[in-house]
Amino acid sequence: MFNKKGTLILCCFILLVTGSTALAQESRLPEAPIMIDHQPFKTRYIMRDGHILIPALFLKHTGVKISWNDQYRSVMFHHKDLQFALPVGKDYADVYGHATGTWRRQSLSTKTIEYNGEVFVPLIDVARKFGMGVSYQREKAQTFITTNIETPPQAIYNGEPARKQVALTFDDGPDSFYTPKILDILKQKNVPATFFVMGKQIEEFPDMMRRMVREGHGIANHTWNHPNIPTVMTSTLVEEIQSTQKEMMKTVGRMPDLFRPPYGAMTKSDHIVLHEMGMRTIMWSVDTIDWSGQSAEEILSIVRRDISPGGIILQHNFQSDARLLDGTVEALPRMIDELQAQGYQFVTVQTLLEK
């Protein structure tokens, strides 16, 4: 429960505070569970003047866009027509008026602060500015947020189960060692695949990128630098995607609408941004875990166990001095033969999603 000013009632939050001072001095901050639209998340927090502050980027889970203004040292929050900035070290927000084109200042319950290079903002102030409901249930020792922000189309994990099709996908390339080996096998077997490529890898290996397209394979966006998307600002995510799209267009004359997030990690805000950019987010239904150095037999065992019609198989083609993907190359021709013997047709993800 919170009072009218958004201050946490101490008796309700005592289980989470566990003796924190106004500004936590420990190198490791305490954590608290927060439910956002019935989904559980954990976040580090700081208590200051009876108010809870959380990392600004955590609020991407609510669906709002978050960026950083270096000139004014402010964290920017944006959703639809509401946009405001919280300057570090200040106890106010600057709210942008679209009708007037001017900024107006509104007070906060406590200051926005920076701790160990990370910006922490007052949770209740930010949530309520976006019209979100915030409550604390004492019996569960949890904070609940109802965002009232519509959820965009979610990620795609598989194609139509009524058709016995399967899509081979490879992440993190192109490269000059594993990619040509994989392409040789696919060419020999006359099987298409889909390559989720990184912008910096296209820039380094443009000929390999051109070979993928020339030999009939699908391509898709996998960011420029492979960041962990939930930990980056919205503006960084947009730049990662756009720069890779431009590099694909420059190299092969195509800008696909398929995207796969590194590590499969995204927040609600990231889903909204991708949807607004016209991108479809593609995950997988079969994870071979080949990046860890799995043997061919281990990879094949996973595929046999998890494959089903409409399946999307996740594999990789990154450069590795440790030869982590030798099992991928060894397993690939056997995987193709086994699945074709079971009646599967290999298609690109683009074809798999056709209705």
CB neighbourhood size of 308 (10 A): 12
Active site residue 171: yes
Q: Which of 94, 171, 172, 290 is catalytic?
A: 171
Q: Which of 79, 222, 271, 316 is catalytic?
A: 316
**How large is the C-alpha radius of gyration of the chain?**
24
**DSSP secondary-structure letter at 350?**
H
Please say whether the beta carbons of 231 and 267 come within 8 A. Answer: no
Instruction: Encode 140-175: b = buried (16+ Cβ within 10 Å), e = exposed.
Output: eebbbbbbebeebeebbebbeeeeebbbbbbbbbbb
Count of beta carbons in the 10 Å neighbourhood of residue 46: 20
User: Which residues, 6 or more positions from 225, have their beta carbon under 8 angstroms from its beta carbon?
Assistant: 198, 199, 200, 240
Active site residue 81: no
Alpha helix positions (H), 101-163 = 123-129
Q: In angstroms, what CA-CA distances link 10 with 1, 17, 35, 42, 55?
A: 10, 9, 20, 20, 21
Q: Which residues are catalytic?
A: 171, 316
